[in-house]
Chain A
C-alpha cells in the first residue's frame, strides 16, 4: 500500500494563477482532510470530507475549494493564488474520525 500520496511535491506559482493539489489514498478511508502548515505554527484545517461527494469547511477555508468525486481522491484548488497561500499543504485520511489519521508527505507551495 502506498498510503497517502500527494501530487505535486513542490510548486511555484505567480500571483493570480490557479492550480490543483491532488491527494490520493489506497486504504479505503471515508474521511479525508486538507491542512496547511505555516512557519512557527501547527497545522490548520482548510477543508475536509466525510465521504465521497461530501465536503465541509475547516478553520481557514477562504481562497480554497475542494472536491471529492471519488472516494480515494481529495482535490484542493486555488482559483487565484495569493502570496498569503505560500505554505506547506498536508493531506490526511482516516477510516473514521481523526483518531487514526494517516498524513501524506506534504506539498510545498510558493506564491510569488
Chain B
C-alpha cells in the first residue's frame, strides 16, 4: 500500500521569506510521480509542481521548487519569496506509474503567509 505523510499540520511564514513543507512517502514501486497541490480557501485544488521519480533533477516552477530524495522517500516543497496568495492548504500526493488511476494524498499542511 502507498502512504503519504505530511508531519506539519500548520506552518506560517513572513511575506517575502522562504518556507519548506515536508512530505515523506512509502512505496515498493520504482516508477512513480509525486505532486504538490494547493487548496486555497476557494477549495479549488491546483497543481503546483510535479516530479517524476526517474528524474534526478529537482523540479522547479517559478518560486516553487522541490527537494526529491528518492532513497529517503522524501519530497519537500520550497516556496521562495512567499506571497499572501500562497496562503492555502498544501497536499503532497503520490501516483504509481503502473495502473495510474489514483492519486494518494497526504493529510495536508496549512500554510499562512503573514504580512
Q: Interface size class for chain B?
A: 20 to 34
A42 touches B108 (CB 8 A): yes
A109 to chain B, nearest CB (A): 13
Residues 75-115 of B contacting A (Cβ, < 8 Å): 91, 93, 95, 100-108
Which residues of chain A in 82-112 are interfacial with respect to chain B, using CB atoms and an 8 Å cutoff? Answer: 88, 90, 92, 97-101, 103-106
Question: Contacts A42-B4, A90-B45, A106-B43 known; A97 to B91 CB distance under 8 Å?
Answer: no
Asked if A62 CB lies within 8 Å of chain B CBs, one says: no
Interface of A is mostly: mixed
Contact B102 A41 (CB under 8 A): no
Q: Assess whether B11 is interfacial by the CB under 8 Å rule.
A: no
Question: Taking the nearest CB of chain A, how far is it from the CB of B5, in angstroms?
Answer: 11
Residue from A48, A59, A98, A106 in contact with B95 in the complex, judged by beta carbons closer than 8 Å:
A98
Distance of B55 from chain A, by nearest CB (Å): 13
Q: Confirm or deny: B44 has a beta carbon within 8 angstroms of a beta carbon on chain A.
A: yes
Q: A60 to chain B: closest CB distance in Å?
A: 11
Q: Residues of A contacting B103 with CB < 8 Å?
A: 43, 45, 98, 101
Collect the chain B residues with CB atoms within 8 Å of residue A31's CB. Answer: 101
A44-B105 in contact given A88-B43, A101-B47 (Cβ < 8 Å)? yes
Q: Which residues of B contact A (CB under 8 A)?
A: 4, 33, 42-47, 50, 91, 93, 95, 100-108
A-B pairs with beta carbons under 8 Å apart, 19 shown: A33-B101, A41-B107, A42-B4, A42-B93, A42-B104, A42-B105, A42-B106, A42-B107, A42-B108, A43-B45, A43-B103, A45-B101, A48-B101, A97-B101, A98-B101, A101-B47, A101-B103, A105-B43, A105-B44
